[in-house]
Amino acid sequence: MELSLPVVCITADNLAAGWEQAVVACWEQGARIPTQYDREGDEPSRDVSLFLAVKDPFAEPRIHRAMPGGFDDLEVYRQEVVDGIHDHWIAPEEGKWQYTYHERITAYSVPGLPEPVNQLDAVVEALVQAPHTRRAQCVLWKPWVDPASDDPACMQRLWFRIFGDRLLLAAHMRSNDAFKAAFMNMYAFTDLQRVVAERVSEGLGREIKVGQYNHVVDSFHIYGSYFADFEGFLRTLETRTFEQRTYCTAEVQVFIDEARAKVAAALQNEKRT
């Protein structure tokens, strides 16, 4: 019997190549299935289960030019995940955000517990105490809240483990928009991996480098409403080299720095107002 949901396994040298290969595989191999977000006239989405292993997520080229949005969007999202710059926007009782990944990772509230749990601190402590532990993870799903949510968390857990002097991160997602979100997710999650590696290095008194990154997704999909845009992306694969489809970080550092300055200014303005 054929698989109902194709399973895609990819190993890539860097983040840009891994994302590109994964999204193309989804297009070529994906099962056709409708979603809860389809509009009238949309074609069924294409959907696979994905296991992507990136050997070195900070190897260059790190950034794909087909990322959704621009450098401002990429930097805002990175800081939301790593630094929690918009955790204060969480106010479901006011119709605002219900959660952020950073809030779930660093302030995971549980009914009956007097204080939220900082899971990231617990991960660092576990890795410092036993670098080979298999127990260093953060969970994000809240079964008492998320099933009834209009926007439940896609990220389910982050699993960390040290192999030799390198920190592996496996990010497990129940659902991931392959074309319009996945690259930004990978970019931010690997920067969080960097932060944990630095904190563990300090705790151990020796350098732990960023190692392999695994991006594991139950439903890695391209929505039917994006097909026209995606076909344009496919044409770039035929007309441009891989180097022309990607950026090395040093090439665009000035734009990243400008984006960081804009984020800092926006946060300061928000504090004033």
pLDDT in single tens digits along all 273 residues of the chain? 788 999 999 999 999 999 999 999 999 999 999 888 888 888 999 999 999 999 999 999 999 999 988 999 999 999 999 999 999 999 988 888 999 999 999 999 999 999 999 999 999 999 999 999 999 999 999 999 999 988 899 999 999 999 999 999 999 999 999 999 999 999 999 999 999 999 999 999 999 999 999 999 999 999 999 999 999 999 999 999 999 999 999 999 999 999 999 999 999 998 888
Q: Are 188 and 78 in contact (CB under 8 A)?
A: yes
pLDDT value at residue 168:
98
Sorted by sequence, the CB contacts under 8 Å of residue 159 that are 6+ apart come out as 136, 137, 169, 170, 172
Mention every residue, 6+ apart, whose C-beta is less than 8 A from residue 11.
52, 53, 55
Local structure of 133: helix, strand or coil: coil
Q: Give the pLDDT score at 40.
A: 85
The answer to whether 17 touches 57, Cβ cutoff 8 Å, is: no
The pLDDT of residue 49: 98
Please report how the helices 71-82 and 182-204 are oriented relative to each other, as an axis angle in degrees rounded to 10.
40
Residue whose pair of structure tokens reads 């695994």 in the numeric block: 214
* pLDDT score of 94: 87
Kindly state the DSSP code that residue 72 receives in the 8-state scheme.
H
Domains of the chain from N-terminus onward: 7-272 (3.30.572.10)
What's the pTM value of the predicted model, to 2 decimals? 0.95
Residue 256 token pair: 């990243």
Bin 95: left if φ > 0, else alpha if -120 < ψ < 50, else beta.
left
User: Is-contact 205 25, C-beta < 8 A?
Assistant: no
Q: Tell me how far apart the alpha carbons of residues 69 and 7 are, in angstroms, rounded to a whole number.
A: 28
Long-range contact pairs involving 259-266 (C-beta distance under 8 Å, separation at least 24): 259/71, 259/72, 259/74, 259/75, 259/76, 260/75, 262/72, 262/75, 263/72, 263/75, 263/76, 263/79, 263/85
pLDDT of residue 217: 98
Peptide bond into 143 cis (omega under 30): no
